A and B are shown apart, each in its own frame.
Chain A
Amino acid sequence: MRRIYLAIFCFSVFLQAVSAQQNKTKLFSVNFQQATISQFVNELESKSSYHFYYDPALFDSLRVTLQVTDKPLGDVLDLAFKKTAFTYAISRQQQVFLTKGRQIKTELAPGFLQAPGNAPPTQTAVADYTADVERKVPDATTENKLYEIGVKTNTIKPGKAILSGYIRDIKSGEAVTGASIYVANTKTGAATDQFGYFSITLPRGRQTLLVKGLGMKDTRRQIILYTDGKLIIEMQEQINALKEVKISADKIANVRSAELGVTHLDIKNIKQIPTAFGEADVLKVVLTLPGVTSVGEATTGFNVRGGAADQNLILLDGATIYNPAHFFGFFAAFNPDIVKDIELYKSSIPEKFGGRLSSVLDITNREGNKKIFTGSAGIGLLTSRLNIEGPIIKDKTSFIFGGRTTYSDWLLKLLPESYKHSQASFYDFNLGISHQINEKNNIYLTGYLSKDKFKLNSDTAYSYSNKNIVLKWKHNFNNKLYSVISAGIDRYQYDISSTANPITAYDLGFNITQSNFKSDFTYYLSNKHTLNFGLSSILYNVNPGTFEPNGVQSLERPDQVPTEKALESALYLGDKYDVTDNLTISAGVRYNIYNYLGPQTINNYAPNLPKDAANILDSTAYGSGKVIKTYSAPDIRISARYLLSGDMSIKAGYNTLHQYIHLLSNSTSISPTDIYKLSDPNIRPENGDQVSLGFFKNAKANTIEMSVEVYYKRLRDYLDYKSGAVLLLNHHIEQDIINTQGKAYGAEFLIKKTEGKLNGWMSYTYSRTFLRQDDPNAGESINQGKYYPANYDKPHSFNFSGNYRFTHRYSVSFDVAYSTGRPITLPIAKYEYAGSERVFYSDRNAFRIPDYFRSDFSIIIDGNHRVHQFFHSSWTVGVYNITGRQNAYSTFFTEQSGVISGYKLSIFAAPIPFINYNIRF
Chain B
Amino acid sequence: MANGVFSSSRAQIPERTLRTDKWWIQPLTTFTVLVSFIIYATFRAFENGNYFAEPLISPFYSPCLSTECVDGASLLGTPFGIIQLFGMTISPALLILIFPLGFRMTCYYYRKAYYRSFWFSPPACAVAEPHAKYTGETRFPLIFQNAHRWFFYAGLVFNVLLTVDAVLAFRNEHKEWGHLSVGTLVLIANATFLWLYSLSCHTCRHTVGGRLRNFSKHPLRYKAWTIVSVLNHKHQNFAWISLFGVAFADFYVRQVASGAITNFYFF
Q: Are A and B a genuine interacting pair, yes or no?
A: no
